[in-house]
């Protein structure tokens, strides 16, 4: 049975007010329209819902039974409206974010802390994946947005540039002498043990593409799964690590690492905020994104 839900709205207000005219006032429609709707509903359900009296209307037994269910339905609608209002006011809700371990630790964490302080009722779920995996999760609808390392190119994804990053090569204290001599070319770096991220990460792909365009192919001594491991191996003297300078400033300042001067400094690149094109965002997601630079 297909019934116009507006009919039940009319029925509800007649039952609550006990009057066709008062229901019409509540609904901002004419009394004849109310009467016509009742007739349509009664005809469809196959039974009388109201008794007409000099003082208005009263419910029949069938009408009383129907009202119990309609009241439950309206209460559920009101609960749903309240839940949506609370979500829009950021009292409740959930945000799903994708980001690599490195970006989560060095970029995202302060904003997570600030957002949680402002909106403790909103649950934030972070999935740690590489940039390519984060983009895949975004397109599958499993996260609301991703924090990625640029460059990235995907027609389904909108990218907003955020913080500028500067790549560099660093070594432990044993490579201090390299900072006193002439800058080193990319080709000369191959004569030293190199520590690079594993293939599959956007940072490794960026470096490989950059060097390949200059006819150079790096052969790493170690391929590691995180920037933190690269830093630890470099500090221990295993070789020169390709890292983001922004994330090793403390190690450079205290002398645990030294930056290797390059004859051709690497160009800067950005962190990207990735969202899916054409997909509306929740109020919580919009509010979080507004915190990010």
Q: Contact at 8 Å (CB) between 37 and 6?
A: yes
Question: How is the chain split into domains, by residue range?
Answer: 5-88, 94-164+271-291, 167-267
What does the pLDDT read at residue 79? 75
Predicted TM-score (pTM) of the model is: 0.69
pLDDT exceeds 80 at position 254:
yes
Pick the CATH number of 5-88 from 3.40.50.300, 3.40.30.10, 1.10.10.10, 2.40.50.140: 1.10.10.10
pLDDT band at 4 (very low <50, low <70, confident <90, very high): confident
Q: What is the mean pLDDT of residues 246-272?
A: 94
Check: CB of residue 271 under 8 Å from CB of residue 292: no
Nearest to 284, CA basis, from 171, 116, 131, 130: 116
Measured from the Cβ of residue 204, the count of other Cβ atoms closer than 10 Å reads 19
Please say if the pLDDT value at position 161 is more than 90: yes
For the chain, the 3-state helix, strand and coil shares in percent, each to the nearest 5, are 50, 20, 30
CATH of region 94-164+271-291:
3.40.190.10
Distance of CA 197 to the CA centre of its chain: 25
Q: In the prediction, which pLDDT does 118 show?
A: 92
pLDDT of 196 reads 97
Mean pLDDT of all residues in the chain? 92
- pLDDT band of 200, cuts 50, 70, 90: confident
- Give the rounded percent of residues in the chain with a pLDDT score beyond 90: 78
Task: Decide if 94-164+271-291 and 167-267 have a common fold.
Answer: yes
pLDDT on residue 91? 78
Backbone angles phi, psi at 190, to 5 degrees: -65, -15
Q: What is the mean pLDDT of residues 110-131?
A: 93
Residue 17 has pLDDT above 70, yes or no: yes
d(CA 110, CA 104) in angstroms, rounded, equals: 9
pLDDT at 125: 94
Q: Which residues pair with 242 in a beta bridge?
A: 169
Select from 3.40.50.300, 3.10.20.30, 3.40.190.10, 1.20.210.10 the CATH code of 167-267.
Answer: 3.40.190.10
- Is pLDDT above 80 for 280? yes
Query: What band does 2 get if pLDDT is binned at 50, 70 and 90?
Result: low
Q: Is the pLDDT of residue 3 over 90?
A: no
Q: What is the mean pLDDT of residues 149-173?
A: 94
Residue 264 is classified by DSSP as: S
Q: For position 1, what pLDDT does the model report?
A: 57
Q: Give residue 12's pLDDT.
A: 93
Tens digit of pLDDT for each residue in 73-106?
A: 887 887 777 778 767 777 788 899 999 999 999 9
């Amino acid at each position: 049975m297909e019934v116009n839900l507006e009919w039940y709205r009319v029925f509800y207000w007649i039952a609550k007010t006990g009057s066709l005219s008062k229901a019409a006032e509540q609904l901002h429609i004419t009394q004849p329209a109310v009467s016509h709707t009742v007739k349509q509903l009664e005809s469809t359900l196959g039974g009388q819902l109201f008794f007409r009296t000099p003082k208005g209307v009263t419910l029949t037994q069938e009408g009383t039974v129907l009202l119990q269910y309609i009241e439950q339905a309206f209460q559920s609608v009101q609960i749903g409206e309240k839940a949506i209002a609370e979500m829009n006011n950021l009292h409740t809700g959930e945000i799903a974010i994708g980001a690599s371990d490195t970006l989560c630790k060095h970029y995202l964490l302060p904003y997570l802390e600030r957002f949680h302080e402002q909106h403790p009722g909103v649950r934030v779920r972070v999935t740690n994946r590489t940039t390519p995996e984060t983009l895949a999760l975004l397109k599958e609808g499993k996260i609301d947005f991703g924090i990625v390392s640029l460059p990235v190119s995907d027609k389904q994804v909108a990218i907003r540039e955020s913080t500028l990053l500067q790549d560099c090569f660093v070594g432990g204290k044993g490579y201090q002498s390299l900072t006193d001599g002439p800058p080193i070319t990319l080709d000369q770096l191959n004569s030293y043990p190199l520590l690079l991220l594993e293939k599959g990460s956007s940072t490794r792909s960026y470096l490989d593409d950059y060097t390949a365009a200059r006819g150079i192919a790096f052969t790493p001594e170690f391929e590691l799964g995180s920037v933190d491991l690269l830093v630890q191996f470099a500090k221990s003297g295993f070789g020169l690590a390709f890292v983001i300078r922004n994330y090793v400033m403390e190690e450079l300042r205290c002398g645990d690492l030294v930056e290797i001067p390059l004859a051709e400094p690497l160009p800067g690149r950005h962190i990207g905020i990735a969202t899916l094109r054409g997909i509306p965002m929740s109020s919580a997601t919009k509010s979080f994104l507004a915190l990010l630079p």
